[in-house]
Chain A
């Protein structure tokens, strides 16, 4: 069974890598573009992704294809989800991509994203040392009552999907102008983000129906970081202060190991997904002739990518998952911790955008003007 699980997630990853690279469907870009250029083009695709996933998950549940509902793997919300979202939002703008964005851009040969990936690994290790403090914060700020999702409050199946679709429609059609869904991008093999969003929806639903869980990456790169640390700094990993609670984090989060007969589920699912995204983006870029030597970006941008990667790791570990876990998994189910994470992520993207403009790029904000509308 294990080779099938690994292969399935590798194929999911390759599919995601190709689709993300072709469309440049970057969630960091979706949030950041709103604040920097007032471009809502990619955000529309994110909203489409969340609302269609929400409806499809409800239908899958009604058809008996999804067992775990309301989701047991999303805990009660705490302020750590909000704070983690803020840190993650700042990090993704500085890194030039969210976790998935970092992976597909690194796969396509972007040096800033490679720096961001190094930062992700280092950030995972750094956070392990602060884990006991994080646990105390979570325990002190967790909402009592055991309410994790909208359905726990209302008890009405389907209400979450209805609410999400209603909010999405209100947002998308709030203005007088019809929102643009397609663009005249000149890039070879370009895929419009709305099409990418629907393909990603299909992969999310497949993941839910085959494994009972949404896609996730956070524990995967934490595991990669811990493997590297074990080889490079074995003393640090075995220090008493790195044990106890932080070991759980450093060696991957619990992911229902019983269902996989005790075999490490992170290695079986998330690690192949990570490698798949990188491979998929690389193959796509290679096919399009985009893998070539290119000049090194300014040092300030490389540092920004690295620092952003550290923040991405710390934010996602603090919030129990990155945007893939929360936006592609929790938000469509109206999970409260994911709602908090996304609110924090939006604010973080605003702060990150200011930092990027003033500190990294050192240019003024340039909103599109003239008779053009996104």
Chain B
């Protein structure tokens, strides 16, 4: 499975959610076919609330992992 990595650490609010949604729309086909997953790196604490709640409602599975200095949000399509 292809991994599409997006690093949005340090960016202004609310760039994290908006850029994530833009990337989901851009890669919608491969994400829905299960051929790719999106891995977002963010240091924006509120993004660990807004991204999961918004993206889950769109039918995607999500996993959030705390890394040193940032959070890694993995998004894949829910089968």
Report which A residues bind B (CB closer than 8 A). 21, 24, 26, 28-29, 32-33, 36-37, 39, 41, 96-97, 110-112, 183-188, 190, 289-298, 301, 304-305, 356-357, 360-361, 363, 366, 368-372, 374
Q: Apart from A186-B64, A356-B12, A370-B58, what are 12 other A-B pairs with CB-CB below 8 Å?
A: A24-B45, A32-B13, A111-B10, A112-B11, A184-B49, A184-B52, A289-B68, A295-B9, A297-B12, A361-B18, A366-B22, A368-B53
- Min C-beta distance of B20 to chain A, whole Å: 9
Tell me what chain A mostly uses at the interface: helix, strand, loop, or mixed. Answer: loop
Do residues A185 and B58 form an inter-chain contact, with CB atoms below 8 A? no
| Chain A residues whose C-beta falls within 8 Å of the C-beta of B71 in the assembled complex | 186-187
User: What is the bound-complex CA distance between A224 and B64, given in angstroms?
Assistant: 40
Q: Can you identify 20 A-B contacts, CB atoms within 8 angstroms?
A: A36-B18, A183-B53, A186-B52, A186-B64, A186-B71, A187-B48, A190-B45, A290-B70, A294-B10, A295-B9, A297-B11, A305-B12, A360-B12, A361-B19, A363-B18, A363-B22, A366-B18, A366-B21, A370-B59, A372-B54
| Chain B residues whose C-beta falls within 8 Å of the C-beta of A187 in the assembled complex | 45-46, 48-49, 66, 71
Most A CB within 10 A of own CB, among B17, B43, B56: B43
| Chain B residues whose C-beta falls within 8 Å of the C-beta of A366 in the assembled complex | 17-18, 21-22
Known: A186-B64, A368-B57. A301 touches B50 (CB 8 A): no
User: What is the bound-complex CA distance between A315 and B30, given in angstroms?
Assistant: 47
User: What is the bound-complex CA distance between A305 and B68, given in angstroms?
Assistant: 26
User: What is the bound-complex CA distance between A111 and B12, given in angstroms?
Assistant: 9
Do residues B53 and A184 form an inter-chain contact, with CB atoms below 8 A? yes
Report which B residues bind A (CB closer than 8 A). 7, 9-15, 17-19, 21-22, 43-46, 48-50, 52-54, 56-59, 64, 66, 68-71
User: What is the bound-complex CA distance between A92 and B23, given in angstroms?
Assistant: 26
| Chain A residues whose C-beta falls within 8 Å of the C-beta of B66 in the assembled complex | 186-188
User: What is the bound-complex CA distance between A291 and B10, given in angstroms?
Assistant: 11
Do residues A185 and B12 form an inter-chain contact, with CB atoms below 8 A? no
User: What is the bound-complex CA distance between A39 and B45, given in angstroms?
Assistant: 16
| Chain B residues whose C-beta falls within 8 Å of the C-beta of A363 in the assembled complex | 18-19, 21-22
Do residues A296 and B10 form an inter-chain contact, with CB atoms below 8 A? yes
| Chain B residues whose C-beta falls within 8 Å of the C-beta of A33 in the assembled complex | 14
